[in-house]
């Protein structure tokens, strides 16, 4: 039988593993930061209408520039992210992962490097590798925040072409202050200049305002967003960026023609019509996230402060065995490879109750280190 290693694959892909959060059939699935609420019926009906309209034109290629969708996304950002954004500053693709891929194809690539502050979103490193961009793992503090001076020094030393700042950060939940982003942007411009990508996939769940206004006067700053989390539409595959119009022009050089299907554009437009209902779910999820953080702390776990729709907790002597213990209790959480920690997504109140019941039992079954004072919730 032929294996991967028998194929003439690129050297840097040899021995690597693909992205692979387990998709297991378990009663309570809180492992991939999905929104637990199915789309409301009125929206489902509207999607059917708009997709039927799109279907009548499926013999034609879609709008290559997705102008109507980008206009809707720009209006959404203008209304919710504290900064006026025009259609020429917004670009959309199949998930923010494709946005990140297009950015790395444009600004990274062979002979270039990207830096992120670990632990962070594993796809930043994986898409870097896939685009031939060298990956540098930058530092994060013991409380999982990014220290401005340490991070700026790493940027000055390595002079990367692309800097990833994930805020709120996955898998830790920690947000990055606007002052830190300003300082790291300045450090990146002094060192190279390089592109700074702020991944705000969880922006809507944060206690803090969006970092989007920072794109003003910073032509090399990009903010990426997604409809996968706040809009409850992970299955849709729509992500987007906001930046200087020149960045939107630049990614045209690498995007595949007609990359965003007519069906996808129609569905996303229908979802945008229901923004207020969907943001109502976000409010409920933020309250549930705060409840998870508080109750996990009360049970005796160390919980990392969270601005996202999930919480990181521990510290387990063996996080894989703790992950398995949750699974044995019918709850799928995520082991992101952060030593001693697991991550749980905020689900419905009933799912969170089931998780917390399991968490009480697992606390007795597993060896859990007592919280250190400054990090406990």
Ligand X SMILES: *Cc1c(COP(=O)(O)O)cnc(C)c1O
Q: H or E element: which one contains 134?
A: strand 134-138
Question: Of 235, 179, 233, 227, whose CA–CA distance to 202 is shortest?
Answer: 227
Cα gap 304→268, rounded to integer Å: 33
Q: Which of 195, 107, 200 has the alpha carbon at shortest distance from 155?
A: 195
Question: Least separation, in Å, of the C-beta of 93 and ligand X?
Answer: 9
Please work out the total of residues on this chain that contact ligand X, with binding judged by CB under 6 A.
14
Residues 88-147, interacting with ligand X (CB under 6 A): 95-97, 121
The residue behind tokens 């992950």 is 323
Residue nearest to ligand X (CB): 95
Instruction: Please give the radius of gyration of the chain, using alpha carbons only, rounded to the nearest integer.
Output: 21
Which residues from 157-216 bind ligand X, rule CB under 6 A?
Answer: 166, 170, 199, 201
Q: Min. distance of Cβ 56 from ligand X in angstroms? A: 28
Residue pair 278/338 in contact (Cβ under 8 Å)? The answer is no
Q: Is 158 helix (H, G, I), strand (E, B) or coil?
A: helix
The rounded distance, in Å, linking the Cα atoms of 55 and 62 is 11
**Interacting residue with ligand X among 119, 160, 173, 239 (CB under 6 A):** 239
Q: Between residue 243 and residue 282, which ones bind ligand X under the rule CB under 6 A?
A: none
Q: Which is nearer to ligand X, 96 or 362 (CB)?
A: 96
Q: How far is the CB of 365 from ligand X (least distance, A)?
A: 29
Which residues from 70-89 bind ligand X, rule CB under 6 A?
none
- CA–CA separation, 355 and 331 (whole Å): 6
Any idea which residue has 């692979």 for tokens?
A: 20
Shortest spacing between CB 364 and ligand X, in angstroms: 31
Helix (H), strand (E) counts: the chain: 11, 12
When asked if residue 310 is in the footprint of ligand X (CB under 6 A), the reply is no
The token duo for 126 is: 């994986």
User: Using CB under 6 A, which of 28, 30, 31, 33 touches ligand X?
Assistant: 33
- φ/ψ (deg, to 5) at 322: -65, -40
Q: Which stretch binds ligand X (CB under 6 A): 63-71, 221-229, 266-274, 354-362?
A: 221-229
Of the candidate residues 128, 180, 226, 336, the single one contacting ligand X (CB under 6 A): 226
CB of 354 to ligand X, least distance (A): 23
Nearer to ligand X, 201 or 292 (CB): 201
Q: Choose one: 40-48, 70-78, 190-198, 227-235; the region binding ligand X (CB under 6 A).
A: 227-235
The whole-angstrom separation of Cα 352 and Cα 288 is 8
* Footprint of ligand X on 317-336 (CB under 6 A): none
Residues that bind ligand X (CB under 6 A): 33, 95-97, 121, 166, 170, 199, 201, 226, 228-229, 234, 239
């Amino acid at each position: 039988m032929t294996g991967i290693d028998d194929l003439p694959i690129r050297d840097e892909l040899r021995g690597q593993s693909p992205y692979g959060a387990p998709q297991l059939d378990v009663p309570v699935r809180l492992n991939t930061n999905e929104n637990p609420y199915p789309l409301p019926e009125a929206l489902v009906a509207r999607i059917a209408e708009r997709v039927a309209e799109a279907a009548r034109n499926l013999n034609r290629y879609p709008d290559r520039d997705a102008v109507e969708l980008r206009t809707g996304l720009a209006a959404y950002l203008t209304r919710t992210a504290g900064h006026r954004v025009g259609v020429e500053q917004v670009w959309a693709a199949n998930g923010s992962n494709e946005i990140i891929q297009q950015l790395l194809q444009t600004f990274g690539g062979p002979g270039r490097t990207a830096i992120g502050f670990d632990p962070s979103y594993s796809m930043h490193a994986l898409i870097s590798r896939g685009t031939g961009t060298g990956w540098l793992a930058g530092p994060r503090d013991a409380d999982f925040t990014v220290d401005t001076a340490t991070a700026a020094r790493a940027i000055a030393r390595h002079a990367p072409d692309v800097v990833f700042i994930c805020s709120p950060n996955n898998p830790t939940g920690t947000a990055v202050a606007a002052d830190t982003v300003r300082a790291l942007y300045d450090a990146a411009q002094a060192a190279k200049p390089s592109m700074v990508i702020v991944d705000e996939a969880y922006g809507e769940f944060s206690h803090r305002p969006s970092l989007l206004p920072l794109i003003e006067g910073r032509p090399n700053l990009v903010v990426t967003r997604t409809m996968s989390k706040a809009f409850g539409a992970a299955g849709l595959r729509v992500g987007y960026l906001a930046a200087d119009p020149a960045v939107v022009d630049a990614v045209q050089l690498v995007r595949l023609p007609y990359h965003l299907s007519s069906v996808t554009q129609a569905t996303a437009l229908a979802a945008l019509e229901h923004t207020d209902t969907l943001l109502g779910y976000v409010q409920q999820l933020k309250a549930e996230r705060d409840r998870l953080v508080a109750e996990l702390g009360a049970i005796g776990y160390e919980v990392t402060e969270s601005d996202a729709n999930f919480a990181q907790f521990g510290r387990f002597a063996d996080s894989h065995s703790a992950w398995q213990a949750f699974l044995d209790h019918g709850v799928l959480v995520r082991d992101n490879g952060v030593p001693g920690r697991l991550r749980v997504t905020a689900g419905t109140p009933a799912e969170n109750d089931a998780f917390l019941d399991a968490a009480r039992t697992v606390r007795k079954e597993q060896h859990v280190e007592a919280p250190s004072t400054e990090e406990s919730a």
